[in-house]
Amino acid sequence: MLHMATILGLFPPAPAGKTFQLNHKSPSLFSSPKPHITPSRKSRYGIQSSKFGSFLDLKPESKPELLDFDLSWFDPADRPRCFDVIIIGTGPAGLRLAEQVSGYGIKVCCVDPSPLSMWPNNYGVWVDEFESLGFDDCLDKTWPMACVHIDDDRTKYLDRPYGRVGRKELKTKLLENCASNGVRFHKAKVLNMEHKEFESSIVCDDGIELKASLVVDASGFANTFTEYDKPRNHGYQIAHGILAEVDCHPFDLDKMVLMDWRDSHMGNEPYLRANNSKIPTFLYVMPFDSNLVFLEETSLVSRPMLSYMEVKNRMVARLRHLGIRVKNVIENEKCVIPMGGPLPKIPQSVMAIGGISGVVHPSTGYTVARTMALAPIVADAIVECLGSTRMIRGRPLHHRVWNGLWPLERRCTREFYSFGMETLLKLDLNGTRRFFDAFFDLDPYYWQGFLSSRLSLRELLFLSLSLFRNASNPSRFDIVTKCPVPLVKMMGNLALETI
């Protein structure tokens, strides 16, 4: 969900009072319409309404949707069944890479059990990230500002526009580009994979065997194709979200709520409050209109993973306290994101992109915009090898594409972001509040750069020193007492990376 200012500059202290207001601009972008969602007549008249503040008994109104799109399907009668690149998965990562690689004339086949299925999860992004990639036309709703509720008395207003990705618009655009570039699609599940010196092959559940110079795993976290040579000690972000029709809600329509750390809703829930004080959750909100809102209760990171039922119970208590009566659940989602942990084995015979490749932001869970930005870099490395007259294949190919995704500088900065995750794992609710209170008081260049994974290692070092300088004394105490072990671990990993 979600996806620190330089010591060379002086930062103004946080002003007295309840909020910190950044300079706000009003781009013309924010005239976008609300998403095309039509609640049923039944829900309009409240026949499915939940009890006040409870929604767990309501069934989602929307059904799985297939895009109406004419793909170029692989013909089993074709011989030979050989491609330059096979991409397993047609999520955002797989389609973006297919679009980029095929644009250079590389023969690509995407394999997925349901290539035309809509993606199930909601994706939120910073508008500037999608604008820079040329995907701003794939945002179905934008907000000119975001806000963070630290507690009942402190709110940060972030002058950075935020948007919800139009899943249908983005997938359609990527499919259109793939189709125009000649990408083939095969509707099947990959069961096995075999690697030879210069060629890899996959076997699908329909018995079809396909071969390619390179196989790319873009199938997500739950797979066995991408190898790790270190223990996968991930942290986990877990969330329960609903797109809901409600009687009313208290949120400003021109602001999305990035994080709401308030816990006053647990006043009559001593068990929930005690657990929340140790492993806190926050509310993430995208308000579309006065009766339509996306609500998501999120554990930023935990290890072991926080119970899903605990997350849902906290959300029920929160909505009850806010006076939100859910009339109808249009969509719901369970989101589990492994964060941090080791990178896959580099290099190896199968390439990876997306969540399984380690590109998830270790401190925030953001991944979509980052994957969209990195796919062209990986594509360039593939084309440099397979698109040349020399046809570089085998181990040299694997080495170049893996190091294209994870050059030394990017591996080192990821260690720093993982250090941020390890620090957050050690903070309770009050420590987390103090951390974000100081974090969002930093120069926007640095907190924005941190959340978007675009700071250099030098800038990250500046950020950490500035954060310590700006932090309250209790927050500094947290850093001094709880960060030494993660810090030593980070320094050790950085030393290993640079050897």
* % of the chain beyond a pLDDT of 70: 87
Q: What is the pLDDT of residues 463-493, one digit of tens each?
A: 999 998 888 888 888 878 877 667 667 777 7
For residue 11, is pLDDT > 50?
A: no
Backbone φ, ψ for residue 361 (5° rounding): -65, 120
> What is the per-residue pLDDT for 10?
32
For residue 78, is pLDDT > 60?
A: yes
When pLDDT is cut at 50, 70 and 90, the band that residue 64 belongs to is confident
When pLDDT is cut at 50, 70 and 90, the band that residue 1 belongs to is low
Neighbours of 389 (CB within 10 A): 4
Query: Which DSSP state fits 299?
Result: E
- Residues 447, 282: Cα–Cα separation, whole Å: 19
When pLDDT is cut at 50, 70 and 90, the band that residue 223 belongs to is confident
- Residues 50, 38: Cα–Cα separation, whole Å: 19
**How far, CA to CA in Å, does 265 sit from each of 119, 152, 260, 294?**
33, 11, 12, 19
> What is the per-residue pLDDT for 213?
96
Q: What is the pLDDT of residues 83-135, one digit of tens each?
A: 999 999 999 999 999 999 999 999 999 999 999 999 998 999 999 999 999 99
> What is the per-residue pLDDT for 387?
86
pLDDT average, residue stretch 129-146: 97
pLDDT average, residue stretch 241-255: 97
Q: What is the side-by-side strand order in the sheet with 162-165?
A: 124-126, 162-165, 139-143
When pLDDT is cut at 50, 70 and 90, the band that residue 19 belongs to is very low
> What is the per-residue pLDDT for 82?
93
> What is the per-residue pLDDT for 171?
97
> What is the per-residue pLDDT for 483?
74
Q: What is the pLDDT of residues 45-59, one digit of tens each?
A: 333 445 554 788 888
**How far, CA to CA in Å, does 323 sit from each of 11, 314, 320?**
39, 14, 5
When pLDDT is cut at 50, 70 and 90, the band that residue 33 belongs to is very low
Assess whether the previous peptide bond of 161 is cis (omega < 30° from 0): no
Neighbours of 390 (CB within 10 A): 10
Between 51 and 62, name the one with better pLDDT: 62
- How many CA atoms are closer than 13 Å to the CA of 116, on its beta-carbon side? 11
Q: What is the pLDDT of residues 397-410, one digit of tens each?
A: 999 999 999 999 99
- Residues 258, 480: Cα–Cα separation, whole Å: 28
* Contacts within 8 Å (CB) and 24+ apart, 34-40: 34/141, 34/288, 34/289, 34/292, 35/140, 35/141, 35/164, 35/166, 35/288, 36/140, 37/243, 37/288, 37/292, 37/330, 39/245, 39/292, 39/328, 39/330, 40/328
pLDDT average, residue stretch 402-425: 93
* % of the chain beyond a pLDDT of 90: 74
For residue 25, is pLDDT > 60?
A: no
Q: What is the pLDDT of residues 167-219, one digit of tens each?
A: 999 999 999 999 999 999 999 999 999 999 999 999 999 999 999 999 999 99
For residues 261 and 149, the answer to whether their CB atoms sit within 8 Å is yes
When pLDDT is cut at 50, 70 and 90, the band that residue 21 belongs to is very low
**Is the C-alpha dihedral spanning 74, 77, 82, 84 positive or negative?**
negative
> What is the per-residue pLDDT for 499?
61
**How far, CA to CA in Å, does 222 sit from each of 218, 272, 355, 407?**
11, 30, 10, 25
> What is the per-residue pLDDT for 134?
96
When pLDDT is cut at 50, 70 and 90, the band that residue 8 belongs to is very low
pLDDT average, residue stretch 372-382: 97
Structure tokens at 356: 């399984």
For residues 246 and 321, the answer to whether their CB atoms sit within 8 Å is no
Between 8 and 295, name the one with better pLDDT: 295
Strand partners, 217: 88, 352
> What is the per-residue pLDDT for 62?
78
